[in-house]
Amino acid sequence: MRAFFQRKRRMVIVLVLLLAGGMSIMAYTEKDKYFEIAKNLDIFAAFYRELNTYYVDDLPPEKLMHKGIDAMLEETDPYTDFIPEENLDELKFMATGKYGGVGVSVNTDSERTVIADVYEGSPIDKAGIKPGDIIVSLDGKNAKGMDQDDISRLLKGAPGSSLDLVVKNPVSGVETAKKIIREEINVRSVSFSGIAGNDIGYIRMTQFTENSGELVQSAYEELKKKYPAMKGVILDLRGNPGGLLDEAVVVANIFVDKNKVIVSTKGKVKSWDREYKTEEPAVDAHVPLVVLTNRSSASAAEIVAGAIQDLDRGVIIGQRSFGKGLVQTTRPLPYNAKLKVTTAKYYTPSGRCIQAIDYSHRNDDGEVESVPDSLRRSFTTAAGRKVRDGGGIEPDDNIDPTILSQVAVTLLRKQYIFDYATQYYYAHKNIAPAGTFSLSEDDFSDFLRYLDGRNYNYKTRTEEALEGFQSTARREKYYDAVAKEFEALQQKLKHDKKQDLLKNKAEIKRLLEEEIVNRYYMQKGRIAQSLINDNEVNEAIAVLHKPERYQEFLR
């Protein structure tokens, strides 16, 4: 009996010690974590001091420290970043859509640097420089062979500063010197608004920067005024990478009435958790609405699409969105540097987080993975429709993405479509208005003659797949048994470039038309022309033209 009580006493002591240990572990996780941080910062500083003092060669301090910061950032998500003072302009551009420069984009290779696009009303536009013009020099520096980043740095600069530019006409070869005065370039978040299908409003948003909501509202009100019989509106968020969360709420408020939750954020700092509601009466709470998304629609674009879907306010058409459900905040650092850090996850009105990649759990090799379908949870919209978290916004009406043929990709990559459009522009003074222009059969035949003798070799996807099969068969020692059949299949599939051009004529013709229209009517013209053969836009028009089908998606 005495032995039993001794054992019982030892068990009580052990239990007390375990409880005490558990309490100390809890205290450690809350309090001693900061001691660990302070301790390791001391070690890091001492390590660098000793290394810098005694290492045989000089070590560049800034480069070394940035490598250390980069190594730390590898443990976070790709949206958390260190921004030194010299890169703050990029942060400003992301928030405002504004930068100092001349308003141009360029294509460059080892042979030439060509003006690819000119922003309407920009200093380059005012100077009469056109897409296709070749840059000879910038501030006296020869542009041939210059790196794209170096060219970009020379084109950008403080508003009011000057740039000495020499350009060459691509047809006549005449060189012209221009002095360009840089201005503040404002890349408008609404790149185009107009009418599609005769009676459907169309608004394209490229980013969510300051005043984006006002611009979308103005565009919508202008369309309403110009086309009072408008039967619906398409908000195109394809390729929109997002931006400011507040602006996403303002954009949603155009179509969603007052006091509706659009998005909520939750993070480590609980006092920062917040619900974002619409603050004004909707501009139009009843107009039939379609939102277009694709794999490049992210962040703020997904907040708008998710709210419209969860509130059953409109129909989402296109492809599943990117799946970025993370919120970033900027924090000040010494010497005007900034830390852009993920501080929260955002949740749509139904309560779902659409973050597709789980950065908090990494494989043994440090890689991260998408949330598997088996772990995605179901939620319900206001009307009881099922929606899921963990993988972007899934459209109500899924449309397969348009995939260009290999011959079209090669013609674009080799700049043959671009160069032919330049040639066409100088040979034709005027063309039909954007959205109605069509390349004639004679023009397309002229393009085929233009390609004669030019190198546009490529492999079809079938040929690439066949090569992969051959490689695997050789590795697994099956190839010899099927060599004859393989070679016969290879011969049968061998593509004829001329035939590929004719087989993909409609696609190539469309790309040519868009590039040519861009020369006469700039970016707005290109977008208007592209709407003619846009599968998602045409599907949206069809849905909005049939009220019963539109309502079917929302039930």
SS3 category, 200: strand
- For the record, the structure tokens of 17 come out as 């010690």
In degrees and rounded to multiples of 5, residue 530 shows phi and psi of: -70, -25
Radius of gyration of the chain (CA): 29
Which entry of 133, 310, 500, 534 is annotated as an active-site residue? 310
| DSSP H helix total and E strand total for the chain | 18, 23
In degrees and rounded to multiples of 5, residue 34 shows phi and psi of: -70, -30
**CATH classification code of 190-401:** 3.90.226.10
135 pairs with which residues across the strands?
113, 167
CA distances from 391 to 355, 370, 402 (A): 6, 8, 21
**Domain residue ranges in the chain:** 1-59, 98-186, 190-401, 406-460+495-539
Residue 312 falls in the annotated catalytic set: no
Residues 6+ apart with CB under 8 A from 279: 253, 258
Q: Which class is 98-186 in CATH? A: mainly beta
CB 354 within 8 A of CB 348: yes
Which entry of 299, 321, 350, 530 is annotated as an active-site residue? 299
Which entry of 324, 396, 500, 509 is annotated as an active-site residue? 324
* Residue (of 92, 117, 102, 119) closest to 183 by Cα position: 102
Per residue of the chain (555 residues), give pLDDT as tens.
444 344 444 443 333 333 344 444 444 565 678 888 889 999 999 999 999 999 999 999 989 999 999 999 999 999 999 999 988 988 888 899 999 999 999 998 878 999 999 999 999 999 999 999 999 999 999 998 898 889 999 999 999 999 999 999 999 999 999 999 999 999 999 999 999 999 999 999 999 999 999 999 999 999 999 999 999 999 999 999 999 999 999 999 999 999 999 999 999 999 999 999 999 999 999 999 999 999 999 999 999 999 999 999 999 999 999 999 999 999 999 999 999 999 999 999 999 999 999 888 777 777 888 888 888 999 999 999 999 998 899 999 999 999 999 999 999 999 999 999 999 999 999 999 999 999 999 999 999 999 998 888 877 777 788 888 888 888 888 888 888 887 888 777 666 778 889 999 999 999 999 999 999 999 999 999 999 999 999 999 999 999 999 999 999
Q: How far apart are CA 121 and CA 106, in angstroms?
A: 17
pLDDT for the residue 29: 61
293 pairs with which residues across the strands?
318
Residue 310 falls in the annotated catalytic set: yes
DSSP state of 336: G
Q: Strands 162-168, 183-186: parallel, antiparallel or unpaired by DSSP?
A: unpaired
CA distances from 231 to 234, 544, 545 (A): 10, 7, 7
First to last CA, the chain: 74
Residue-by-residue DSSP string for 224-276? HHH-TT--EEEEE-TT---B-HHHHHHHHHTTS-TT-EEEEEEESSGGG-EEE
CA distances from 451 to 66, 108, 407, 419, 505 (A): 48, 21, 12, 11, 14
SS3 category, 208: strand
Q: How far apart are CA 14 and CA 7, in angstroms?
A: 10
Q: For tokens 């809350």, name the residue.
A: 30
Residue 117 falls in the annotated catalytic set: no
pLDDT for the residue 42: 93
